[in-house]
Structure formats: structure tokens, C-alpha cells
Amino acid sequence: MFLWILVFGIGGFVPFAFADVPPAFREAAVLYDQGQFDQAVARYESLLAAGVRSANLYFNLGNAHFKAGHVGRAILNYERARQLAPRDSDVDGNLGFAVKQSKSFDATAAGSWSVWLADSRDSLTTDEWTWLTITSYWLALLSVIALVWLPPAIEWRRWLRSAAITFGAIALLVSVGLGARIAIEEGPPAAITLAKEAVARFAPMDDGAKHFTVYEGQKLWIIGERPSRMQGVSGWLEVERADGQRGWVPADAIEKI
């Protein structure tokens, strides 16, 4: 508990919230309530185009896309919201619901160890993992420095020694989580399929042999690219799906999270 307070206290230099709710955000909510979901999407996207980014904005945009029938874009924006607010249960709930609506949902994977580990890893942002690690690391080292300076006869050297060991162990443990997050950040970028269906081929061309089909809302990882030589025309992306199968899909069929 102490560490959590320390982490989020130290990390609390970020402004707590936007000062005012922009008019476009309010208008989008009104349009949403009126059932005009495409217009609500346009309002939310105008905020993104203006450089506004927040978990709540992505969440609401995801809702508007979901109601408008764009399951893929809904999942994409819920994923973006989750990156910024990994412990928001609303985001988790809506994302899970949207994924279940998509054809790509794999019920057998739910509840497995890998999913649990991934959830644990994603329960904090990378910066939160970083703060947790360095806080433990600093506390461990400060304890050791205090031990060095304190005279040997002092009674509570024993407590300092325990504190140093404990904080050191915590630092090692959370550094594993940090390492896992960094591996995600530095690894192949994840993307969500936006097309209703797209064929993944063995070669980056329209007449390449088909390998498998990806469905709207499916999560893929981008491992290669072949840009088009025609401006305005998307090229090809080599992707890998969760089971390791790889193929080439049109670049406009997916979008990076």
C-alpha cells in the first residue's frame, strides 16, 4: 500500500484532469444520445485531430463506433483507452463485450495462464511500472546507504537491513513486469483489423496465395511492411496473429493501436 501511495504520489505531477470539457465533447454526447452515432464519431475525432488525447475520449469514441456498427474501430479505440487507463473497469468491460461480438473472438483462450499473465502485465502503464521499479530501487539503495553511515551499535540497523532486502526483492520483482512492458513497447506494434474480413496472403500482392482470413476486431502484430509506389494507395503489411501464423494483408485493412 505504501508503495502504491508513493508511486502515484510521485507520479501525480500529471494534471489531474482537463480544465474544461470542450464543446465538441459535449455535442458528441448529445448526438450519441440522439442515436446519431456517426456524427458523434466525427465530433470525437475532431478532438483527436486537435491534439486532445485521453482515455475517456478514446472510450467514448469506441462507444460511438460500436453503436454505429463499427466493431473493429470500437475495439481499436477501447484498446487505446486501455493503454492509457489499464485499470478502468468500464474500458475492460466494453472491450471484452466488443471482442465477444466480433468474429475473431476465441473463447478457448479466455482464462488461460497466458491471458492472466498478460492481464497482470497490462494492469499498469509502462510509466507506472517504471515508477514502481525505481521507487523500490531507490528505497533499497537508500536503506543500504543509511546502513553504511549508521554506527554499528545502533539497534535499528537490523530493520534497515530487512528494509533493504525487502525493497531490493520488490525492485527485482517489479522489474520483471517492467521488462515485459518494455518488450511490448519495443516489440512489433499491435493492430486491430478494421475490415469486415481480409485475406492474409503468402505474398504482398492481390493474386498471392491465400493463407488465412482475419476478421474485424482481430488483434494482429505488424512485423513487416511493403509500401505502395502509388500515392494514396495503401501498401501491404506483414502481420502475425496470436497463434504465430503470418501473412500479408492490405495496409488499410488494419490500424495500429
Partner 1 sequence: MAFWILISVFCFLFPYLAPAANFTATVDRTEVSLGEQIHLTLRFEDMPNTGQPPQLPPLDGFTTAYGGAQTQMSIDNGVRHDSVAHIFALTPTREGTLAIPAFSVPVGGQVLSSQPIAIRVTKGQVQGGSADSVFTQGVTTNDIFQMTISLPRTNLFLNETVPVDLKLLIRNGIRYRSQMPSIVTTGFSEIKLSRPVESQEVIGGKSFVVYTFRSLTSPLQPGNLALGPARAAMDVFVDSPNRPRLPGFNDAFFDNFFGGSATKTITVTSQTVPVRVLPVPDDGKPADFTGAVGRFALDVDAKPTTLRAGEPVTLSIRVVGQGNLATLAPPKFTPPEGFKSYEPVARSKQTDEIGFTGEKVFEQVIVPLSPRASVIPPITFSFFDPEAGRYQTLSRGPIQLTVQDAPTGAAPVVVGVAPVAAAPRPQEKLGVGVVYLKPDLGAPAPSSPTLYRQTGFLAGQSLPVLALAISFVVQRRRERLRRDIRYARARRAFGNAQRRLAEAERLMPAGQIKSAAFCAALFKTLQDYLGDRLNLPSSGITSAIVEEQLQPRGVPPEICQALKEVFTACDTARFAPSLQGNLDRERLVKIVREVVTAMEKMVL
Between 88 and 117, how does the x/- string for binding to partner 1 read (CB under 8 A)? Answer: --x--xx--xx-------------------
- Give the three-class secondary structure for 188: coil
Our finding on whether 233 is near partner 1 (CB under 8 A) is yes
Q: Do the beta carbons of residue 143 and residue 164 sit within 8 Å?
A: yes
Query: What three-state secondary structure class fits 37?
Result: helix
Q: Residue 26 is inside which H or E element, if any? A: helix 23-33
b vs e for 167-199, b when ≥16 Cβ sit within 10 Å of the residue's Cβ? Answer: bbebbeebbebbebbeebeeeeebbbbbbeebb
218 makes contact with partner 1 (CB under 8 A): no
Find all residues with CB under 8 Å of 63, minimum gap 6, and list them.
32, 74, 94
Closest separation between CB of residue 159 and partner 1, Å?
19
Side-chain-side CA neighbours of 168 within 13 Å: the count stands at 11
Min dist CB 66 to partner 1, Å, is 6
Contact call for residue 42 and partner 1 (CB under 8 A): no
Name residues contacting partner 1, limited to 114-173 (CB under 8 A): 126-127, 130-131, 134, 137-138, 141-142, 144-145, 148-149
Site string for partner 1, 179-208 (x = CB under 8 A): ---x--x-------------------xxx-
Which positions touch partner 1 (CB under 8 A)? 14-18, 21-22, 25, 29, 32, 52-57, 59-60, 63, 66-67, 84-85, 90, 93-94, 97-98, 126-127, 130-131, 134, 137-138, 141-142, 144-145, 148-149, 178, 182, 185, 205-207, 229-234, 250, 252
